[in-house]
Structure 1
Amino acid sequence: MVIKPRNWSKRTRTAAIAGVAGVSALALVAVAGPAWAGDGWWHHGGGHHPQPPVSASTPIKHLVVIFDENISFDHYFGTYPNAANTDGTKFKAARNTPRINGLTPKLLKQNPNQNNPSRLSHEQAMTCDQNHGYGAEQKAYNGGKADKFVEYTETDKCTGQPILYGAPGLVMDRYDGNTVTGLWNYAQHYAMSDNSYGTVFGPSTPGALNLISGQTHGVYAVDPITGKKVTDAYTVASPDANGVGTVINDPDPAFDDCSGNNHTAKNALGAMTGKNIGDLLTKQGTTWGWFQGGFRPTGTASGYSVCGATHQNVGGNTVVDYSPHHNPFEYYKSTSNLKHLPPTSVAKIGHTDQANHQYDLTDFDAAVQAGNLPSVSFLKAGEYQDGHAGYSDPLDEQQFLVSKINELQKSKDWASTAVVVAYDDSDGWYDHVTPPNVNGSSDAANDQAALCGTKPAAGGYADRCGYGPRQPLLVISPYSKTNYVDHQRTDQTSILKFIEDNWRTGRIGDASYDARADSLTGMFDFWHRPNSRPVILDPSTGAVTKH
């Protein structure tokens, strides 16, 4: 049965779409009502009342962001929708599948890099991790020629349990729909972008911070034992006189017991200043949560909670589930859950209690089953399923993605839900599109002038050169367009901007990239009746089992 949102008239649709675009007719209506006093209460009729929840500006009442690891667009979608069908799961595209900006015959056979892109088979799912440093990725693009990936971001020799696949030219290589079948099938039935970018260059932590704040500046380093401010070049790039600078690496967060191997390592930890989207959502009473694999402690040691849960990936390698530097909210004291405390009840998931909106993935499952899905949810797989080469892979990632999306599609909230599948960084994998420069930096130690020197640095903050490499982005929802490729330029903070506009939180400020981000609304269709019939996939194969 197709469900039409109550009172979702053509006039309301128009207002809502304008609102998400940043000119909110609905927000203007809200201004005429009771006044927000900024203290957690509404002043109305001379009295103080608890703040009422903010209704969504569009039919999307639940946004679920699945934030996976380390994939460039060409690495997963370079030959979409054409698959070899020589191994893995068969894939056949619909006849009306739109074209993408992918790997042309010339790029496949006469690539300007040292090696041509080769197809990785289903049996080569476990590969070496590539170099995805802030500076190395810039060098790979070589001033816009995109011809130095082998020299600067390739890692073709590595070992694991078992030995990981590696070969000369590996950084150039790509999968097709016989291995990343689930993602290709979601693209067939929903909407994807071929013009979406990491907000800046570099590894996981900058990408995660940009997702929630659009800001990698504002970090200072602290001693892992005493918590006192220290000087550390790995944690803080371009520090000012107060030791505050920019994150370009992967320091662990300061407000997390599980950081630095339960604070036994000597490496400095990073503490972020400023605001993030969690702060804005909490202030207005909108429910939200970050759910990560392995967040639930397995014990304690020396007064610290221990995150010791492990799983085996498809290669038989045992991997610790929880990665502290993959959790951006733990860098901010205001949104951290230092001791990894559980929610006081399933009913409190998404609300502010001792868990402070930071949860284990099992808490997400409990919330969905109880019909208590928060308005905004961020999902982070345990490391073995997050897609990061070296310890994860596309097959384990598919298990996670499909299982969670199937779970949501079978829930009572699916008719008002949108799932965004996005990535934290490119891992250094080849992508032929040189990212557009929208924000500059002239740090000679880290930035390539040919890429980063053409624009001023917003806020005067160095080492935020962006956009970074192109990455996959998909929107899966009853309201997403069908078999659609969006060509509008977006970045990681376009997700942040959608949240801000849909729940009318206002902007982060302080030169956050959210102010310049383009919209995700081109991937939605709010004008027609939604298609609430789910597309259920097999988590093991990625094949469609029900439509």
Structure 2
Amino acid sequence: MQEVDARSMTTWSRRQFLQRGAGLVGATAAFAAMSPSARLNLAHAAPTGSRLNDIEHVVIFMQENRSFDHYFGTLSGVAGFDDPNVPRDPRTGLSAFEQFDPTANGFAGGVLLPWRLDTRASSAQHLIDVDHTWQTQHWSVANGTNDNYVRSHIPVDVGLAAASSQPDAVRNGGGRVMSYFTRDELPMHYGLADAFTICDRYFCSVIGPTNPNRLYLMSASIDAEGTHGGPDVANLRSGFSWRTYPEQLQAAGVDWYLYRERDDFGDNMLDHFVAYQDESTELFRRGRSTIPDGQLIPQLRRDVESGNLAQVSWICGPQWTTEHADELPAAGGLYLQGILEALTSNSEVWRKTLLILTYDENGGFFDHVPPPLAPPGTPGEYLSQRALLQSPEATGMAGPIGLGPRVPTILISPFTRGGYVCHDTFDHTSILRFLETRFGPEVPNLTAWRRETCGDLTSALNLAGTPQLSVPTFPDMGPLYREAVAEMRLPAPQVPQFQTMPRQESGSRPTPSGVR
């Protein structure tokens, strides 16, 4: 098997990784069998204690449509499947893990438990999408009870499966929302959680689909009043005129850039703002220009090696890497490994860098932790009557806008090394708040409720500790990706007839120091 050296790669495309031999530099299949402590190489340590200003580069990589429980429900030391604080229905005594399923013939009590996606016997990585519209997401969260995930998805998800390449998935009804992966299927993601800091109370910003949540990442708003081209609750709108955070950075002289190829899966929200339409402007050059296909990671690496990485960077990968069902999580792991290797190719840059991995929304997949919800009438957190009239896709649901369900989020940096878990409450505006705290420009459009409810991510850093400049050894994602592609030919995964409640891995995790 020929090894692919990321330093010599000319393109990063789906075709390349199906044709080339082995995976990436420094990868090893033995990684998955190692203990978390064995994975942490603590050599080359910097002096003890750091300042927030020691972080000079922030890279934001937002993936697609996975919930925290769907990916990390079995991870040790987090609020996962063993959570003693899981909400219970006072009438029935059922926990949020026991979702009522009227189609669950023969299941005890007519409830459906979380069930594992078995990649050995099914096309589990190629899982068919589930509905995640504004309406269905609000039905699922059910005003914070989190007890309506299966029922709310049954009518729509059956149709999605019937129209897909896997019609046998119809038998799952709404059950796909209760599926989950483990370390075996997500070795890169679990490896990052073991090595760095995972946040187990990071919620998406909007109880809704992709674009509204990505708008919050870029601007902290969907224009709830409907006065500047919004609100966008359904991935449909454009022509927005409210202020974005990159404009704030630009005005303050903070260097920023958005990496994307022509295929960015429509994830660059700056495409929809009036301020970014003039190709002669710096806003267009930094926020909307495209990198040749397959060149995003090589370009990122060149910028790192030459010392030209911006102070703030966003990355929008091509569709096949996004992890949006039915894209493969293994493809996301592969792309993530390439990003990490690019960022660590220059130790002087890496020692000053924070990579934030997060997901725009839960994609409709179940999560058991109730999100904090703005009280009715909270300014900027409910759609106005005018906005409802302008947005039939809201189906009359004024709100709350958020917070939405939890999504996986890992902070990857020499300043987060150690296998920590942060239990503080965050959402996508927390990333902007972090940039505000570190670089100065104020987050525009941010409501008082959201600023009070969500932190600024500084508590997820471990600045009182010793920055660890070495890079952990991760699994070779190239072969794992090709295995996942081959498994696409297997039958669709099915809800198991016999259910048992999943358990988490044993062990605990320390909490980071924050900014001291």
Equivalent residue in structure 1 for 2:244, among 276, 286, 289: 276
Q: Residues 2, 206 of structure 1: CA spacing in aligned structure 2 closer, same or farther, 3 A cutoff?
A: same
- Corresponding residue for residue 466 of structure 1: 402
Q: Residues 248, 488 of structure 1: CA spacing in aligned structure 2 closer, same or farther, 3 A cutoff?
A: same
**Partner Cα separation in structure 2 for residue 186 and residue 67 of structure 1:** 15
Measured after TM superposition, the shift of residue 541 of structure 1 is 6.4
Contact kept, 8 Å, 2:145 with 2:370, in 1: the verdict is yes
- Corresponding residue for residue 60 of structure 1: 55
Contact kept, 8 Å, 2:362 with 2:406, in 1: the verdict is yes
TM-score, scaled to structure 2: 0.68
Once the two structures are superposed, the pairs formed by residues 189-208 of structure 1 within 5 Å of their partners are 189-208=195-214
Deviations along 1:466-488, one digit per CA (max 9) or x if unpaired, are: 10111111101000151111111
Deviations along 1:237-268, one digit per CA (max 9) or x if unpaired, are: x746xx844110102xxxxxxxxxxxxxxxxx
Contact kept, 8 Å, 2:128 with 2:166, in 1: the verdict is no
- Corresponding residue for residue 116 of structure 2: 119
Secondary structure of the residue that 2:259 maps to in structure 1?
strand
One-letter code aligned to 1:58: N
- Corresponding residue for residue 331 of structure 1: 272
- Corresponding residue for residue 213 of structure 1: 219
- Corresponding residue for residue 22 of structure 1: none
Percent same amino acid among aligned pairs? 22
Measured after TM superposition, the shift of residue 529 of structure 1 is 2.6
Secondary structure of the residue that 2:211 maps to in structure 1?
helix
Contact kept, 8 Å, 1:134 with 1:446, in 2: the verdict is no
Contact kept, 8 Å, 1:135 with 1:446, in 2: the verdict is no
Equivalent residue in structure 1 for 2:64, among 60, 69, 73: 69
One-letter code aligned to 1:485: V
Instruction: List runs of 5+ in structure 1 lacking aligned partners.
Output: 17-56, 82-97, 219-237, 252-268, 296-320, 342-350, 448-460
Q: Which has the higher helix share?
A: 2
Q: Residues 488, 284 of structure 1: CA spacing in aligned structure 2 closer, same or farther, 3 A cutoff?
A: same
Q: Residues 214, 464 of structure 1: CA spacing in aligned structure 2 closer, same or farther, 3 A cutoff?
A: farther
**Partner Cα separation in structure 2 for residue 421 and residue 178 of structure 1:** 20
**Partner Cα separation in structure 2 for residue 129 and residue 333 of structure 1:** 31
Contact kept, 8 Å, 1:70 with 1:387, in 2: the verdict is yes
Secondary structure of the residue that 2:351 maps to in structure 1?
helix
- Corresponding residue for residue 361 of structure 2: 425
Equivalent residue in structure 2 for 1:249, among 223, 234, 239: 234
Q: Residues 147, 541 of structure 1: CA spacing in aligned structure 2 closer, same or farther, 3 A cutoff?
A: farther
Measured after TM superposition, the shift of residue 130 of structure 1 is 0.9
Q: Residues 58, 170 of structure 1: CA spacing in aligned structure 2 closer, same or farther, 3 A cutoff?
A: same
Measured after TM superposition, the shift of residue 151 of structure 1 is 2.0
Equivalent residue in structure 1 for 2:456, among 516, 519, 532: 519
Root-mean-square deviation (CA, aligned residues, Å) is: 3.2
Instruction: List runs of 5+ in structure 2 lacking aligned partners.
Output: 1-42, 87-93, 102-111, 389-396, 482-516
Contact kept, 8 Å, 2:259 with 2:313, in 1: the verdict is yes
Once the two structures are superposed, the pairs formed by residues 33-432 of structure 1 within 5 Å of their partners are 57-81=52-76, 98-103=77-82, 111-114=98-101, 115-122=112-119, 123-153=123-153, 155-156=157-158, 157-160=161-164, 167-168=172-173, 169-217=175-223, 239=226, 244-251=229-236, 269-292=237-260, 294-295=261-262, 321-324=263-266, 326-334=267-275, 336=276, 352=282, 355-358=285-288, 359-360=290-291, 361=296, 363-390=299-326, 392-412=327-347, 413-432=349-368
Contact kept, 8 Å, 1:64 with 1:377, in 2: the verdict is yes
**Partner Cα separation in structure 2 for residue 194 and residue 153 of structure 1:** 25
Contact kept, 8 Å, 2:126 with 2:328, in 1: the verdict is yes
- Corresponding residue for residue 314 of structure 1: none
Equivalent residue in structure 2 for 1:540, among 459, 466, 478: 478
Secondary structure of the residue that 1:63 maps to in structure 2?
strand
Contact kept, 8 Å, 2:220 with 2:446, in 1: the verdict is no
One-letter code aligned to 1:415: R
Q: Residues 121, 514 of structure 1: CA spacing in aligned structure 2 closer, same or farther, 3 A cutoff?
A: same
**Partner Cα separation in structure 1 for residue 204 and residue 219 of structure 2:** 13
Contact kept, 8 Å, 2:141 with 2:370, in 1: the verdict is yes
Secondary structure of the residue that 2:218 maps to in structure 1?
helix
**Partner Cα separation in structure 2 for residue 287 and residue 435 of structure 1:** 34
Q: Residues 177, 244 of structure 1: CA spacing in aligned structure 2 closer, same or farther, 3 A cutoff?
A: same
Measured after TM superposition, the shift of residue 62 of structure 1 is 0.6
Contact kept, 8 Å, 1:280 with 1:505, in 2: the verdict is yes
Contact kept, 8 Å, 1:446 with 1:463, in 2: the verdict is no
**Partner Cα separation in structure 2 for residue 371 and residue 100 of structure 1:** 39
Measured after TM superposition, the shift of residue 536 of structure 1 is 3.4
**Partner Cα separation in structure 2 for residue 408 and residue 282 of structure 1:** 23
**Partner Cα separation in structure 2 for residue 331 and residue 513 of structure 1:** 26
Deviations along 1:70-119, one digit per CA (max 9) or x if unpaired, are: 011111011113xxxxxxxxxxxxxxxx3434355998997133222110
**Partner Cα separation in structure 1 for residue 464 and residue 96 of structure 2:** 43
Contact kept, 8 Å, 1:409 with 1:534, in 2: the verdict is yes
Contact kept, 8 Å, 2:229 with 2:239, in 1: the verdict is no
**Partner Cα separation in structure 2 for residue 338 and residue 110 of structure 1:** 50
Contact kept, 8 Å, 2:249 with 2:255, in 1: the verdict is yes
**Partner Cα separation in structure 1 for residue 251 and residue 322 of structure 2:** 31
Measured after TM superposition, the shift of residue 202 of structure 1 is 0.6
Greater shift in the superposed pair: 105-114 or 525-534: 105-114
Q: Residues 541, 165 of structure 1: CA spacing in aligned structure 2 closer, same or farther, 3 A cutoff?
A: farther
Q: Residues 513, 381 of structure 1: CA spacing in aligned structure 2 closer, same or farther, 3 A cutoff?
A: farther
**Partner Cα separation in structure 1 for residue 446 and residue 423 of structure 2:** 29
Contact kept, 8 Å, 1:196 with 1:470, in 2: the verdict is yes
Q: Which has the higher strand share?
A: 1
Measured after TM superposition, the shift of residue 163 of structure 1 is 6.6
Once the two structures are superposed, the pairs formed by residues 6-25 of structure 1 within 5 Å of their partners are none
TM-score, scaled to structure 1: 0.65
Contact kept, 8 Å, 1:195 with 1:489, in 2: the verdict is yes
Secondary structure of the residue that 1:246 maps to in structure 2?
coil
Secondary structure of the residue that 2:304 maps to in structure 1?
helix
Q: Choose between structure 1 and 2 for higher RCO, CA contacts under 8 A separated by at least 6 residues.
A: 2
Once the two structures are superposed, the pairs formed by residues 497-508 of structure 1 within 5 Å of their partners are 497-508=433-444
Contact kept, 8 Å, 1:246 with 1:464, in 2: the verdict is no
Deviations along 1:31-58, one digit per CA (max 9) or x if unpaired, are: xxxxxxxxxxxxxxxxxxxxxxxxxx52
Q: Residues 366, 463 of structure 1: CA spacing in aligned structure 2 closer, same or farther, 3 A cutoff?
A: farther
Q: Residues 512, 379 of structure 1: CA spacing in aligned structure 2 closer, same or farther, 3 A cutoff?
A: farther
